[in-house]
Amino acid sequence: MTEHTVTAYDEELRALAGRVAEMGGLAETLVNDAVTALLTQDLDRAHRTILADSRLDELQQDVEMRLIRVIARRQPMGQDLREIMAAGRIANDLERVGDLAKNIAKRVIAIDGDFNASKAAFGVEHMAELAMAQLKAVIDSYTGHDAEAARSVRERDDEVDALYTSLFRELLTYMMEDPRKITQCAHLLFCAKNLERIGDHATNIAENVYFMVTGEQLLEERRKIDETGVTDQENA
Amino acid sequence: MTEHTVTAYDEELRALAGRVAEMGGLAETLVNDAVTALLTQDLDRAHRTILADSRLDELQQDVEMRLIRVIARRQPMGQDLREIMAAGRIANDLERVGDLAKNIAKRVIAIDGDFNASKAAFGVEHMAELAMAQLKAVIDSYTGHDAEAARSVRERDDEVDALYTSLFRELLTYMMEDPRKITQCAHLLFCAKNLERIGDHATNIAENVYFMVTGEQLLEERRKIDETGVTDQENA
């Protein structure tokens, strides 16, 4: 294989990873916008978030086409194959994160109420901050090829799940106290669930980054909370 | 290319499609078991459903490895490439269907109550029947390479969404009438949402079958119900 060929191949892999990183940045923005729209009841921002999600779908299709082309042309093995497989799987998780952000944005419109003043806002905000921190950290671990950072993301998923379980119960309590809040709280339950699932996707990505970098699986079973939250590996 | 090579290639494609069809059958079984466990409050069956889901994950990984191997060895184009891409995407959707079935099964355990006698059972059962019919029809359209059957599945997704929206409202009404039912109804809300998402995955699969068979996209925008249900393309 000539040096020229190797360089072109490296360039293909770099371009693929670049697209995945671009998806990561966009997914972060979508989640942040959806949550901000929810906390401030900003319907304009919610509408923009819904529209922006289609770009993430386009990028995922682009990643898929690049994957097929590079596998067909280069018959990758070992480390290169791991990079390519990780790119495809991570793109898949990021596209789903975008769908979940879009769903939160749609619920902003469905709620259309004085959420800002509601007692539940604090819990949702806290959970959103943690889920977004997880997403940011795992994208950084991907671009930095940092297996240890990926492992930490996975370990912190328990915190997201614990917050979800606590918020689930809190929202049910509000429903019981004031039946007029039931519709609003039902939408918030789904928003909380979406944030918990975004945390799960961050964990999936972390496992793929770890495997990509080290060639080893993070095997130990994740300890997950499984009570009313029913969170265990739903989207693993 | 010798005839022997062509035959081996055909065999690889057939084996790949066979694995995807196997995943389809298993996904149907998991959804059916989860829904039966819910309607009969059969905790044993719920536990078995949760355990059985891991087989679907294994099969998806097997499909992924076969895909990479066949793309690297054969550099597929045209119809072959469409078959291969469809197999990968459909396997992905089926794996997610399995996760949703597993989540319903977990909620059977979380509810652990007299659901059979509840008013909501009828609505859930009706929605489950339609979602399962969609899943079965789309898997048949895949194995039969039937583009028109795939198109019908996609058109019937509106019915699943309409049932979901109606069930969502019904469950909120039960919550308002009897606050002691709020926790049970919250779990049922998520079960209904899971069934709606299974319908969305059937629709995604239908679009991939149509493209695989015809080489054309089902382009017209799907008309979706988007009121309290917030169902539009969440998982598209």
Is A228 a domain residue? no
Q: Is residue B205 domain-resident?
A: yes
Count up the domains in chain A and report the number. Answer: 1
Which tokens go with B205?
């699969």
Say if B224 falls within a structural domain: no
In order of A98, A134, A138, A197, the CA distances from A201 in angstroms are: 11, 10, 10, 6
Rounded Cα gap, residues B155 and A54, in angstroms: 22
Q: What is the CATH number of the domain that holds A24?
A: 1.20.58.220
Q: Tell me which residues of chain A have a C-beta less than 8 Å from any C-beta of chain B.
A: 57, 64, 68, 71-73, 75-76, 81, 85, 92, 96, 99-100, 102-103, 106-107, 110, 168, 172, 175-176, 179, 182-183, 186-187, 189-190, 193, 226-228, 230, 232-236
Task: Give the model's pLDDT for residue A230.
Answer: 62
Residue A221 lies in a domain: no
Q: Over the stretch A177-212, which tens digit does the pLDDT of each residue have?
A: 999 999 999 999 999 999 999 999 999 999 999 999
Residues of B with CB under 8 A from a CB of A: 57, 64, 68, 71-73, 75-76, 81, 85, 92, 96, 99, 102-103, 106-107, 110, 168, 172, 175-176, 179, 182-183, 186-187, 189-190, 193, 226-228, 230, 232-236
Residue A58 lies in a domain: yes
B220 burial (CB, 10 Å; 0-12 / 13-18 / 19+) is exposed
| Spatial contact of B163 and A208, defined as CB atoms under 8 Å apart | no
Region B75-95: what's the mean pLDDT? 96
Lowest-confidence segment of A134-138, A160-164, A219-223, A232-236 by average pLDDT: A232-236
In chain B, which residues have their Cβ closer than 8 Å to the Cβ of A189?
A: 186, 189-190
What distances in angstroms separate CA A36 from CA A111, B148, B217, one per listed residue? 14, 43, 35
CB atoms within 10 A of CB A122: 12
Cβ contacts of A46 on chain B, cutoff 8 Å: none
Per-residue model confidence as pLDDT tens digits over B114-171: 665 577 888 999 999 999 999 999 999 999 999 999 999 999 999 999 999 999 999 9
Q: Which of A198, A168, A19, A204 is nearest to A97 (CA)?
A: A198
Using an 8 Å Cβ cutoff, are B106 and A235 in contact? Answer: no
pLDDT in tens, A21-64: 999 999 999 999 999 999 999 999 999 999 999 999 999 999 99
User: Dihedral of CA B173/B175/B181/B186: which sign?
Assistant: positive
As given in the structure block, the two tokens for residue A100 are 């979940």
Where in the sequence is the domain holding B120, given as residue range(s)? 3-214
- Give per-residue pLDDT as tens, A147-158: 999 999 999 999
A235 occurs within a structural domain:
no
**Burial label, A62 (beta-carbon count in 10 A; 0-12, 13-18, 19+):** middle
Question: Helix/strand/coil (H, E, C) string of chain A?
Answer: CCHHHHHHHHHHHHHHHHHHHHHHHHHHHHHHHHHHHHHHCCHHHHHHHHHHHHHHHHHHHHHHHHHHHHHHHHCCCHHHHHHHHHHHHHHHHHHHHHHHHHHHHHHHHHHCCCHHHCCHHHHHHHHHHHHHHHHHHHHHHHHCCCHHHHHHHHHHHHHHHHHHHHHHHHHHHHHHHCHHHHHHHHHHHHHHHHHHHHHHHHHHHHHHHHHHHHCCCCCCCCCCCCCCCCCCCCCC
Q: Do A234 and B71 touch (CB under 8 A)?
A: no
Q: Give CA separation, B182 vs A99, A103, B163, B177, B228, in Å.
A: 27, 23, 20, 9, 18
CB count within 10 Å of CB A195 equals: 29
Note the pLDDT of residue B204: 97
Within-domain flag for B233? no
CA distances from B100 to A60, A156, A196, B85, B142 (A): 23, 24, 15, 23, 21
Supply angle C-alpha A97, A98, A101, rounded to 5.
90
- In the prediction, which pLDDT does B161 show? 96
Tell me if B223 is assigned to some domain: no
User: Residue B234: which of A99, A233, A235 has the nearest Cβ?
Assistant: A99
How close is the nearest chain B Cα to the Cα of A208, in Å?
A: 13
Please report which confidence band the pLDDT of residue A73 belongs to, taking 50, 70 and 90 as the band edges. very high
Q: Which of B112, B190, B230, B231 to mutate to test the interface with A (most CBs of A within 10 A)?
A: B230
**What letter represents residue A2's amino acid?**
T
Q: How confident is the model at residue A4 (pLDDT cuts 50, 70, 90)?
A: low
